[in-house]
Amino acid sequence: MSEQTATSLLPPEVIEQYADLGVDLVALFSAGSLGNRMGIEIVEASADRVVGTMPVEGNTQPYGLLHGGASAVLAETIGSVGAMLHGGPGKVAVGVDLNCTHHRGLRSGVVTGVATPVHRGRSSATYEIVISDEQDRRVCSARLTCALRPAAPPAPGTTPA
């Protein structure tokens, strides 16, 4: 991440709670291997709102437009972070449904996704994700539902992730 890190986005006690379960929040908030390859950065994170950015360059389809799958990856990444933070350290968020509607094509710039909750329950969480361009025009509307599963503690003798 550029200027902010997971440690500056979340209280240390939250990071420690997840570390006890074997979850490295700093690595998670870097959006993982796929998110790193796509240039996704999480710039704000809470159960109420997650904001992430992604460059268009490097994430285009053969016609040179932002790939719809890239928008889907951004949407699922930030929606999953919100669901995970809602579930807390005792739960793991697993995506079970993703719906994306693509409104406009882009050839350059950076898109910003904002995930906000539609439903937050004990066993599932649904987030609406709006992806916009630098002129604040909607590029994609998405909805993600995650199942919230009990988190298993790391197996004895293993190193947390």
Contact 84, 138 (CB under 8 A): no
Known catalytic residue: 57?
A: no
Q: How many CA atoms lie within 13 A of 132 on its CB side?
A: 9
Angle at 140 between CA 138 and CA 144, to 5 degrees: 130
Helix (H, G, I), strand (E, B) or coil at 105: coil
Angle at 84 between CA 8 and CA 102, to 5 degrees: 95
Handedness of CA 41, 46, 47, 49 (dihedral sign): negative
Handedness of CA 31, 32, 35, 41 (dihedral sign): positive
Handedness of CA 95, 81, 127, 109 (dihedral sign): negative
Catalytic residue among 13, 16, 76, 134: 76
Contact 93, 84 (CB under 8 A): yes
What positions carry a catalytic annotation?
Answer: 76
